[in-house]
Every structure is written in structure tokens, then in C-alpha cells.
Amino acid sequence: MSPTFHSLRHRNYRLYWSGMFLSNVGTWMQRIAQDWLVLVVLGGGAQAVGITTGLQFLPFLLVAPFGGLLADRFDKRRLLILTNAFLGLVGLTLGVLTLTGLAQIWHVYVLAFLLGVGSALDNPARQAFVSELVGKDDLTNAVALNSASFNAARLIGPGIAGILIGLIGTGWVFVLNGASFVSPILALLLLRGVGGRPKRDVERAGAFSQLREGVSYLWSRPDLLMVVTIMFGLGTFGMNFQMTMALMATDVYDKGPGEYGLLGSIMAIGTLSGALIAARRRVPRRRLIVGGAVVFGVFEVAAGLMPSYVLFAVSLVPVGIIAMTVLTAANAYVQTTVPQYVRGRVMSLYMMIFMGGTPFGAPLIGFVADAFGARWSLLGGGILTAAFAIGALLFLAPRSGVVVRTRLRPRPGLVVVTTAPAPMPADEPAQVRVA
């Protein structure tokens, strides 16, 4: 490819990356304000926060496959413009309801669900759109840098939200989030030389036939099945920080909105570090996904046992590093091993499985927190995440081309032998040890 083409790609990616950053800041502000609105302003308990979180992620279970179908059939750039406009409108609506004093918990439930619908349609197109902005050799780094952008915003957004809630109230935080979606829309409009209809003619078959094609492709790849199964356990039981940090801050440590928002920013130090570390890794590997999920569960349990607010805040940094390392590795593994013609549908199925369990996991964790205390929102989540990852490794490893054996000498551990390597762009060692 010509240097001019590479320069245009880099220019487009920088423009898109910067446009998404401001919107991501607003998204994290909305998450903090939404939980504070339900938990404190409207007087809902832990279970109400869990229901809100569950409703926000429920559309990933119901709508995400159709989002992947749209991403494979239509111009991704135009689709992203529409989804960002819809998400901004939802944020503005909740802001107006809160500022006028009309907001009730059922309003938050409905708007959280609509926010999830927009995200479920947006996410597959946004994930697959990265491959149109950069070349194949840069795809893994681009996925990691996208995560870095999201988590750099996480470093800023929660802290700003906590300050603004105390100064001007939750309503204006929602309004600012709605306005932040103007940034990615402008960036998408300014991109050059990208977009257009997919090259492969997939419109002759019906919508459900195309969805079945995506499911059949995923089912034919045992290595992908193992990855998405592990991510289901992580997403369902472990990645409920939006709720667990609110419960720990208010119920265990008796803190206000500023300290609660600060927890999100502190954790973002870890998630941003994890994303930047992942950007240096050229080839994502399955052993990192498996081992990382187990270690994540252990560190989440440790965070739930911290006796003070300061120690709890510090413990969130390694939790964030491990979480983002696993998420980035899994995302990059799927994108780099799936052909472009079906990538949107496979990514939508991946996101459906990863985030679709949250509508069940979040209310369950909220119920556990109400019944046994807020600490169990982290203890139970960490234990279940580690157990799910180990179970997926033991039961699905043979089908995914991996044989797991125990070893006592020279050090106890598990030996993972790859018998049928996945179709990756780089080689994977035939034998590795998982401590």
C-alpha cells in the first residue's frame, strides 16, 4: 500500500479515537450518576441498582445479534452515527426528568433498557469498524488502544461525575453525557475513504439465515467457544463494578458521592494500564485469557476483604489491570481470527454472551449483597468467576484443541498441551504452563 494510504488510515484512526474519547468520558459520568440517582436520590436499595444494571445489559442478550447483522449488511459509519444520536437522546431525556423532579425509579429502568438497546446495536458495528480503519497488522494494537481510550475516559469521568453530583446534582451530569455524543458524530462525518456497503453480497439470504450463518461459524470454532464461555462467566459474575463499588462505598465505608466517583477513577488507573500493556502484545493467546480470568477472581475476592476505604481503593488497581488484560486479549483474539465477512455477527454473538449474562448476574449479586452484606457482592463474584474459568478449561479444553494435564515436579501446576492450534496469524507454543 502507498504511504499516502497509510497516512490516511492513521489520520482517520486518530480522528475517530479522539472523537470517541469525549463520548466515553460522558458515558462513565452517566454510569456513576445513574447508580447514585437510584441508590441515594430515589432511595432504592442494592437490588434496585442490580435491576437497573441488569436492564441496561439485557438488550445485549436480545438485540446484539441483530446489531451484528446490521454491521455486516450496511455502512458501519452511518450506522454508528445513528446509534450515537440515539444514545445522546436517551441521556438528555433522563437529565430533563431529573432536573424537573419527575424522575422515578421506573423511569430509570426504562431508560437504562433503551440505553442498552442503543449500546447493543452500536457495539458490534464499532468493534468491526476498527478493522476498516487500520490494516490487519495493526488490528491487535488498535483494539487495545480503543480499550485504552475507554479506560482513559474511565480515569476522568467518574471523578468528574462525583464532583458535579455534589456541586450541581445528577441531572446536569446526564445532560452533559447527552451532549458528549456530538463529538463522535462529528468525527465520523469527517472521516475520509472509509465506509460503504460490505463487499460480500449477504442480502440475498434472509436475516435469520444470516444469523444462523454467524452461529454456525462460531459453533465450528471450538477455540472461540472456549473463549466466549470463559468470558460469559467473567461478565456475568465478575464485571459488576458499576454496582459493587457503589455498595462498598455507601454501605461498608459510609462515603459520599465524591469518594464513590473517586473509586471509579482509581480503578481506571488499573484498566488503562492493562489496556496499554495489551497494546504492546502482538498476538493474543488463549492461555492468557484462561489464566487471567482465574487470577482476576482471586484479586476480586481480596478486594472484597479490604478493611478500609483506602486499601479497597488501592486493591482496585490490580483488579483493573487484570480485567482489562483479559478483556483486550479475548476481544483481539476473536477479531484477529474471524474473517471480515462474518466478523460483525461473530462479534455481536461474543458481546451477547459476554454481557448477556449481566441481566441475571447483577440482580443475583444485588440480592446476595442485600442478604449477606455488600462485601459478598465482590466475594461471591470473584469466587464464581474463578470457578467458572476453571470449569470451562477442564470441560471444554479437549474440544478446543487443548489437553490439560497436572504436574507435580519441579513445581505443581497445570500443563496445557495444544493439539489443534487455532487459526491465528502467529504461532502459539505447543506446550505452556499455567500456574
Residue 392 lies in a domain: yes
Closest CA to 306 of 380, 387, 379: 379
Q: In this predicted structure, what is the pLDDT of residue 62?
A: 78
Q: In this predicted structure, what is the pLDDT of residue 114?
A: 92
Residue 235 clears pLDDT 90, i.e. is over it:
no
- CATH number of the domain enclosing 138: 1.20.1250.20
Q: Which helix (H) or strand (E) holds 403?
A: strand 402-407
Residue 341 lies in a domain: yes
pLDDT: which is higher, 324 or 94: 94
CB atoms within 10 A of CB 408: 7
Average pLDDT score over residue span 342-358: 77
Residue 22 lies in a domain: yes
Residue 370 lies in a domain: yes
- pTM here is 0.67
- Which three cell numbers mark 241? 463494578
Residue 159 lies in a domain: yes
Q: In this predicted structure, what is the pLDDT of residue 398?
A: 64
Average pLDDT score over residue span 6-17: 64
Least confident of 49-53, 202-206, 283-287, 338-342: 202-206
Q: Is there a cis peptide before residue 398, judged by omega within 30 degrees of 0? A: no
Q: Which residue has the cell 449474562?
A: 357
Q: Are 257 and 34 in contact (CB under 8 A)?
A: no
320/158 Cα distance (integer angstroms): 15
- 44 and 176 housed in the same domain: yes
- Count structural domains, the chain: 2
Residue 391 lies in a domain: yes
pLDDT digits (tens, 9 = 90+) for 151-176: 677 777 877 888 888 888 888 999 99
pLDDT digits (tens, 9 = 90+) for 66-109: 777 787 777 888 888 999 999 999 999 999 998 988 888 888 89
Range among 7-11, 263-267, 314-318, 411-415 with highest mean pLDDT value: 314-318
- 215 and 291 housed in the same domain: yes
Residue 287 lies in a domain: yes
Average pLDDT score over residue span 313-337: 85
177/425 Cα distance (integer angstroms): 39
**What's the domain range around 360?**
207-401
286/238 Cα distance (integer angstroms): 19
Task: Specify whether the backbone of 44 is left (phi greater than 0), alpha (psi in -120 to 50) or beta.
Answer: beta
- 12 and 147 housed in the same domain: yes
375/340 Cα distance (integer angstroms): 43
pLDDT: which is higher, 348 or 310: 310
| Residues 6+ away with beta carbon under 8 Å from 106 | none
Degrees to nearest 5, angle at CA 15 with 13 and 21: 100
pLDDT: which is higher, 24 or 18: 24
For 207, what's the count of Cα atoms within 13 Å in the CB-facing half-sphere? 8
Average pLDDT score over residue span 251-268: 80
Residue 408 clears pLDDT 80, i.e. is over it:
no
- 100 and 140 housed in the same domain: yes
Average pLDDT score over residue span 379-386: 88
SS3 2: coil
